[in-house]
Amino acid sequence: MGTRNIRIDMDAVGHATSGDLLVGALHLEPVVVLAAGATLADAATAMVGAGTSAVFAADAEGVEALVTERDLVRALADGGATTLLAVEVATAEPVTANSASRVVDAVALMLGRGFRHVPVVDPQGDIVGILGLAAGLEALLAPAGAPPWLSALRVALHIHGAGGNTAIRAGSSSEGARQR
């Protein structure tokens, strides 16, 4: 498995430690919105074309829901055809992280809730990108310059303190638990 290059906006980071790194300083996965009526095949094609692991699917009313690679695999494994509508397997009202949130808090949210992608919103609530769990962890561990076990320990210690962060909001409880 090759290594990925995580781009970090160093002007936004300054001399912050990895624990202070903000989500908005990372190069996020792009926002890709599928048209109403898009199928699982359309979602997979869009993910590959955009180099992302999650896209948004719109329903007939234009409401967008998150579709991830895990959703595609699960739907196909359950016997779903590639012609199944993407919005049918998507997570409505996904949990989001604010671009001003600390990366460690966004990672803790994903680990704690059991999903691997979180849409990132700006202060106005507009979706500006998607943070993947792997990218978040890599961003936290890469700049530390410490042995891998120490960086992992830093992440683990911050995870337990993330519960009170108001910069991260939860979507509906029934759908948020299903988000991947």
Q: Cα–Cα distance between 56 and 47 in angstroms, integer? A: 10
The pLDDT assigned to 91 comes to 92
Determine contact, residues 126/56, Cβ cutoff 8 Å.
no
CA distance 98 to 152: 23
CA distance 51 to 142: 22
Residue 145 corresponds to which tokens in the numbers above? 């310059």
Exposure string over 118-155, b if 16+ CB within 10 A, otherwise e:
bbbbeeeeebbbbbbbebbbbbbbebbeeeeeebeebb
Domains (ranges, CATH) in the chain? 17-171 (3.10.580.10)
The per-residue pLDDT for 157 is: 60
Q: What is the pLDDT of residue 51?
A: 92
pLDDT at 144: 52
pLDDT of res. 147: 61
In the prediction, which pLDDT does 83 show? 85
pLDDT along the chain (180 residues), means of 10: 39 52 92 93 95 90 88 89 89 93 94 93 93 89 62 57 41 43
Please report the pLDDT score of residue 149 as a whole number. Answer: 65
Which pLDDT score is estimated for 81?
Answer: 80
